[in-house]
Amino acid sequence: MPKAVLILRKKAKELDPRIIEQGKKRMEWAIGFMTVRYHFVYQILAMTTKREQSGFGTLGVRVLGGGSFELTYDPEFILKLLDPALTYILYHEILHLALLHCTSRNFSHHELGNIAHDLAVNELIPVTPGSCEPPKNPNGSLMGVFVSEMKKQPQYKDILEKQTAEWYYDYLMKKAKAQDGKGKGKGKKGTGNGEPQSGKGFDEHGGWKEDEIADQKVRAKIDEINKGDLWGDVGGAEKELILAAQQKRINWRNVLRQFYGNQVWHEREGTRKRPNRRMGYVHPGARKLQVDRHLVAVDTSGSVDSDLLAQFLAVINQMTDFVPIDIMQCDCGVTDTPRPFDRRKHEYTFKGRGGTDFQPIMNIANERRYKSVVILTDGQASGCEKPKARVVWVLPEGLNPPVEWGQRIHMSRHV
C-alpha cells in the first residue's frame, strides 16, 4: 500500500477527540434549530442516523441496506461553517431525500447528473439572511451550482427556475451536445464546454443507490407530512414539486411491450389437430391465425425530440419479433408512406418538419385495415376522427393528444 495512503489514514484516526465532540454538539444544535425553524426538514432528518467521519471533507446522505439512511459528516468541515450555511446544507441534503434523488434518480452521465440534482434542490431552499444562506468559498463566491449564477453565462441564459432534476439534466445534455457539435470540448466525452462553469459542490453523492424499500419509506413520510399538514414554512410551489416527485413512475417501455403482447395473444384459436403443450391431446392445442399488421406513425413536425425518437424506435425494433409492424411518417401530410419496419436498419431519415395533422394517419389506418396504430407525437395539432383500429398515443411527459380517445403513454428518458 502506498505510504501516502497510510499517512492519510493515520491522520484520520488521530483527529483530536475534542474536535469530534465539538462536531457532535454542533450537529445537535443544528438539528434542534431545524425542529423549531424548519419542521419539515427536521422530520426527514429524523429518518437518518448521524455518523461522523474524519477526513470526509463534507456532508452526504447514504442509502444503507434495509431501507435505512445515514447522514455522514466531517466534524472539521461543519465546525468551519457559519450557522446559516450549515442550515442551508442540511436543508439541501434533506431535499435530496425528499425528491428521491438518493434512491431512484439515476442518470447515465454522472457529472451532469450531479449538477442537475443540485440545481433542482438549490432552487427550493428558502434563503433567509441570518438563518439559512448558501455557503461561500474563501473568495466570497457561492459554493455549489445555482440557476441565478448560470444565467450569467451566455450559453445558459435560457435556463429556467424551479425545474426537476430530469429537466435540468436534459437541458445540460443538450447544451453539451451543442457545444461538442461546434468542435468544442473534444476529449471530454459527452460534456464539452456544455458543462456549467460554476462553483464546486459542497456535498457528496457517492452513497446513492436504487433501493425500493428506502424509496417507499420516503414516500410514506412525505404522505404523512402532507396528510397532517406538517409542512411548516415550506412554500406552495416548493410543496407541489416535492409532492410531484412522489408519483410512481410507470415504465413506458413495459406498457408498450404489454400492448403489443396483448395483440399477439388474441391471434390464436383452439384446434384438435395439435396437442396442448401441457396436457397433450386431452385438451385442444392452439394455432396462429393470420396476423394483422400494426402501424407505427411518427410525427415529424419538428417539435418531436430526436433523442426520444431514437428510444422509441429501439423499443419498436424489439417488438418486430412478435408482430409485423409498418412505419410511416407524417407532419401536415404523409411524408413517408407505410412500409415494413426493418429491424436491421439502425438509422432512419425523418422527412417533413412542417405542421401536424393526424387525420391522414387515421385515413390510412382505416383504408389498410390496421389492427392498431401507435403514434409518436408531441400532440400539438387539431383534433381528428377516431379510426376503427386501436390507438396508442406516445408523448413526452406533460403533453397530451388533441382528442379524448385512445390509450396514452408518456415517455421519460430516465426510466
For the segment 336-389, what is each residue's pLDDT rounded down to a tens digit? 888 888 665 556 666 666 678 889 999 999 999 898 898 888 787 888 899 988
Residue 84: its pLDDT value, please?
A: 93
Rounded to whole angstroms, how far apart are CA atoms 39 and 35? 5
Strands 48-52 and 68-73: parallel
Predicted confidence (pLDDT) per residue in 320-335, tens digit:
766 778 888 887 778 8
CA 161 vs CA 120, 164, 356, 396: distances in Å: 9, 9, 30, 20
How would you class 151 by CB atoms within 10 Å of its CB: exposed for 0-12, middle for 13-18, buried for 19 or more? middle
Distance of alpha carbon 302 from alpha carbon 278, whole angstroms? 51
| Separation of alpha carbons 257 and 381, rounded Å | 27
Set of cell numbers at residue 374: 401507435
Q: What is the pLDDT of residues 160-178, one digit of tens each?
A: 998 888 889 889 988 888 8
Name the nearest CA neighbour of 309 among 287, 327, 285, 332.
Answer: 327
Q: Are 388 and 366 in contact (CB under 8 A)?
A: yes
308/306 Cα distance (integer angstroms): 5
Domain 252-411, CATH among 3.10.450, 3.40.50, 3.30.1600, 3.30.43: 3.40.50
pLDDT at 210: 83
Q: What is the mean pLDDT of residues 80-105?
A: 90
Q: What is the crossing angle of helices 212-227 and 236-245, to 10°?
A: 140
What was the pLDDT predicted at 4? 39
Q: How confident is the model at residue 71 (pLDDT cuts 50, 70, 90)?
A: very high
Predicted confidence at residue 189, as pLDDT, reads 42
Whole-number Å distance between alpha carbons of 372 and 296: 8
Inform me whether the pLDDT recorded for 22 exceeds 80: yes
The larger pLDDT score, comparing residue 319 to residue 171, is at 171
Grid coordinates given for 239: 410543496
Average pLDDT over residues 70-99: 92
* Model confidence band, residue 56 (pLDDT cutoffs 50, 70, 90): confident
pLDDT in tens, 262-287: 655 445 556 656 666 666 665 666 65
18 alpha-carbon distance from chain centroid: 43
Report the C-alpha gap between 359 and 374 in whole angstroms. 14
Distances 288 to 284, 341, 389 between C-alpha atoms, Å: 13, 21, 20
8 Å CB contact between 319 and 254: no
For 316, the 3-state DSSP assignment is helix
Task: Cell numbers for 35, please give them.
Answer: 425542529
Beta bridge partners of 309: none
Quick: pLDDT tens for 249-264: 666 666 777 777 665 5
Rounded distance, CA 72 to CA 16, Å? 18
Answer for the pair 365, 373: CB distance below 8 angstroms, yes or no.
yes
- pLDDT (tens digit, 9 = 90+) per residue, 179-231? 776 654 443 444 444 456 544 567 888 888 888 888 889 999 999 999 998 88
What size, in residues, is the chain? Answer: 415
- Give yes or no for residue 289 having a pLDDT over 60: no
Q: For the chain, what are the domain ranges?
A: 3-245, 252-411
Q: What is the β-pairing status of strands 390-396 and 407-411? A: parallel
Contact criterion met (CB below 8 Å) for 137 and 143: yes
Identify the CA nearest to 197 among candidates 240, 245, 139, 155. 155
pLDDT at 87: 93
Answer whether residue 3 shows pLDDT above 60: no
Q: Which residue has the cell 414539486?
A: 241
**pTM for this predicted structure:** 0.61
CB atoms within 10 A of CB 358: 25
Res 280: pLDDT: 61
What are the Cα distances from residue 246, in Å, to 40, 242, 400?
A: 16, 7, 21
Nearest CA to 374 among 415, 307, 315, 301? 315
CB 13, CB 203: distance < 8 Å? no
Q: pLDDT over 90 for what percent of the chain?
A: 25
What lies within 8 Å, CB to CB, of 46 at 6+ separation is none
pLDDT of residue 281: 61
Beta carbons of 354 and 301 less than 8 angstroms apart: yes
Q: Which of 182, 203, 204 is nearest to 193 (CA)?
A: 182
Whole-number average pLDDT of the chain = 79
**Mean pLDDT confidence for 90-100:** 92
**Is the alpha carbon torsion for 211, 244, 120, 189 positive or negative?**
positive
